[in-house]
Amino acid sequence: MERTLVLIKPDGVERNLIGEIIKRFEENGLKVANLRMVIPSREFVQAHYAVHKDKPFFNVLVDYLAEKRVVAIVLEGEDAVSRVRKIVGATDPSKAEKGTIRGDLGNDSKEKADAERRSIYNLVHASGTREEAEEEIKLWFEESEILE
């Protein structure tokens, strides 16, 4: 059984899409193993996105999530990491396929984000690899909260 971390980002929380987003994972047979709402500090978001620290969009990415409501979810299932990425869709919602969360519910694009000098608002984060998933789960949840 594999686990992955999903974040419902501040635009997903603000737009009342928490239920709709979780429903899509549950309907695909993924199990919610844990879930919490958090208001992360800037330092915490910087730690979460450490892999992007040299990217030009790092600071605006931290602005997007820091000090706002975020829902952190551990999802469990066979091939959870890649299945969740498929359900989420491409980074740029205007390019994401229909049937994916970002393709169906996203309302932003890289062009708009660049013009407004901010991060792409794309509703969710999903771990990229199994290793990243384990690290991210450890960052967002206490060891005692994770059921083996």
> Where on the chain is the footprint of ligand AMP (CB under 6 A)?
52, 57, 61, 91, 110, 113, 119-120, 122, 125
Catalytic residue among 9, 24, 83, 125: 125
Eight-state DSSP code of residue 138 = H
52 is catalytic: no
Eight-state DSSP code of residue 141 = S
Cβ proximity to ligand AMP, 22 vs 124, nearer residue: 124
Cβ proximity to ligand AMP, 28 vs 109, nearer residue: 109
Cα(113)–Cα(50) distance, integer angstroms: 21
For the bound state, the minimum distance from the C-beta of residue 69 to ligand AMP, rounded and expressed in Å, comes to 16
Joined together, the tokens standing for residue 98 give 């229909």
List helix spans (H) across the chain: 10-14, 18-27, 42-48, 58-65, 80-88, 101-105, 110-115, 130-140
For the bound state, the minimum distance from the C-beta of residue 118 to ligand AMP, rounded and expressed in Å, comes to 7
For the bound state, the minimum distance from the C-beta of residue 91 to ligand AMP, rounded and expressed in Å, comes to 5
Positions annotated as catalytic residues are 125
